[in-house]
Structure 1
Amino acid sequence: MIRKASVMKVYPGHFEEYKKRHDELWPEMGEMLKEHGAHNYSIFLDEETGNLFAYVEIEDEERWSKVAETEICQKWWAYMKDIMETNPDNSPVAKELKDVFYLK
């Protein structure tokens, strides 16, 4: 497994909505993520800053990179753009974090 982590940002006043949308994740979105090799996907919120910390384990970088090309991912990004920082293509503004420590 390949471990990946990133940070994103949700707008103030939208923390509950962000959580609600993920609690009600579309089944086809979850299926697509699993089909692209995602396991143990978690997102954590720092309520003081609105920063989100995302962690996912993937099977293959190339397969994972195809997530953004799926129709359901594009639809999800459009759905989320009103409550979080996004790029012009609606993808979340995300900064990948460097792995510096792992305890098995």
Structure 2
Amino acid sequence: MSVQRVCFQLQVKPARIEEYAGRHAAVWPDMLRALKETGWKNYSLFLREDGLLIGYFETESLEAARQGMAATEVNARWQAEMGEFFEDLDVGPDEGFLRLREVFNLEDQLAALDEIETIHLDSDDPTEK
């Protein structure tokens, strides 16, 4: 199974930005372990000064990663505490984020270019070499 790259957006309430950042400076150890065990890899959050939050992670299956976290007790506690930090959110942050569409990935395009160049080099047609 290939790795899915997931990028998402949420809006942190401006009055809560510093507290939100502080909470993420030392995430609960059991939450960190649960994320790892349920397939959330290379997970980062980026916060703009106006509260725009962009998250990124890699997983084999977004649905399986979400379901795995939903089955943990620590996630229920974390989502309950984090939900109050966001604007216009009627569900938990892990369910209510806006997923962004990936339109470019350097490694994917370089791999495709390498494949095309390899095909051309292996061709018996001297005009393609």
TM-score of Structure 1 vs Structure 2, range by shorter chain: 0.7 to 0.9
The structure that has the greater radius of gyration is: 2
How do 1:1-104 and structure 2 match up within 5 A? 1-48=3-50, 50-66=51-67, 67-85=69-87, 86-87=89-90, 89=91, 91-92=92-93, 93-104=96-107
User: Among the aligned pairs, what percent are the same residue?
Assistant: 39
Larger helix share, 1 or 2: 2
Q: Structure 1 stretches (4+) deviating beyond 4 angstroms?
A: none
Task: Tell me the TM-score normalised to structure 1 length.
Answer: 0.87
Q: Report deviation, 1:60.
A: 2.6
CA distance, structure 1, for counterparts of residue 64 and residue 83 of structure 2: 24
TM-score by length of 2: 0.71
- Which runs of no fewer than 5 residues in structure 1 stay unpaired? none
The structure carrying a bigger strand percent of its residues is 1
Q: Tell me how large the CA RMSD over aligned residues is.
A: 1.4
- Separation of aligned partners in 1, 2:84 and 2:61: 31
Aligned residues: 101
| Gapped regions of structure 2 (runs ≥ 5) | 108-129
SS of 1:37 mapped into structure 2: coil
SS at structure 1 position matched to 2:85: coil
